[in-house]
Amino acid sequence: QVQLQESGPGLVKPSGTLSLTCTVSGDSVSSDSYYWTWIRQSPGKGLEWIGYIYFSGSTNYNPSLESRVTISVDTSKNQFSLNLSSVTAADTAVYYCARVSRYYDLDSWGQGTLVTVSS
Amino acid sequence: EIVLTQSPGTLSLSPGERATLSCRASQSVISRYVAWYQQKPSQAPRLLIYGASSRATGIPDRFSGSGSGTDFTLTISRLEPEDFAVYYCQHYATSFTFGPGTKVEIK
């Protein structure tokens, strides 16, 4: 059974870069059957898709965040990562990593990690 | 960009009752790429339905999905105490879109 676990700083300063890593177990990020994605949820709000990556390194980002987002994959560590630059308080959210199935649904999720943007 | 609208915003029902949740797309979408999720407080969302009508692994058969074109429905045939939560629909075209959610609360 696949498991995903987010890790990274819980506090980031305004104008800084938010960096998170998702460690995958029970499956391989090198699998050609899945994409790997980041989703966020601001406090008390709905879900917002950030972007996804394929094992080959090809990516697709939310147009509203594209200028600030980079998602990368490290197959040797079975991890994928999120970098979000020039953060503001509006980027404060719980960040989830998830696996995207062939039907473009998110069939496995990490537990989420709260990132607060504050000085 | 496809926009998903969910109704009602809040559904107040009693255990044992039937819940019918609606998800409407701003334009016709491919049913194969419509999914539903359940989220409880302080938990990650959980996939319930994929491909508009297929139950995910381990999901009880009281949950069912239907619909096509612009209108999709999640039905919970008889609410159990653990079903009170927020439900989101989701679609993928060239990007992922989520609806704003329907909260199913205890009446």
Burial of B96 (0-12, 13-18, 19+ CB in 10 A): buried
| The pLDDT value given to residue A44 | 87
Query: Among partner residues A48, A49, A106, which is closest to B47 by beta-carbon distance?
Result: A106
Question: Which of B96, B98, B103 has the most A C-beta neighbours within 10 Å, making it the best mutation to test the interface with A?
Answer: B96
Cβ atoms B60, B46 nearer than 8 A: no
DSSP line for A71-113: EEEETTTTEEEEEE-S--GGG-EEEEEEEE-TTS-EEEE---E
Q: List the structure tokens of B41.
A: 């407080």
Contacts of B99 in chain A (CB under 8 A): 46
Q: Please judge whether B45 and A109 are an interchain contact, meaning their C-beta atoms are less than 8 angstroms apart.
A: yes
Q: What is the pLDDT of residue A21?
A: 98
pLDDT in tens, B11-65: 999 999 999 999 999 999 999 999 999 999 999 999 999 999 999 999 999 999 9
Q: Give residue A11's pLDDT band: very low, low, confident or very high (50, 70, 90).
A: very high
Q: Each residue of A72-101: pLDDT tens digit?
A: 999 999 999 999 999 999 999 999 999 999
Q: Identify which of A36, A34, A31 has the alpha carbon closest to the alpha carbon of residue A21.
A: A36
What pLDDT does residue B43 have?
97
B1, pLDDT greater than 90? no
Nearest CA in chain A to B100: A46
The pLDDT tens digits of the residues spanning B53-84 come to 999 999 999 999 999 999 999 999 999 999 99
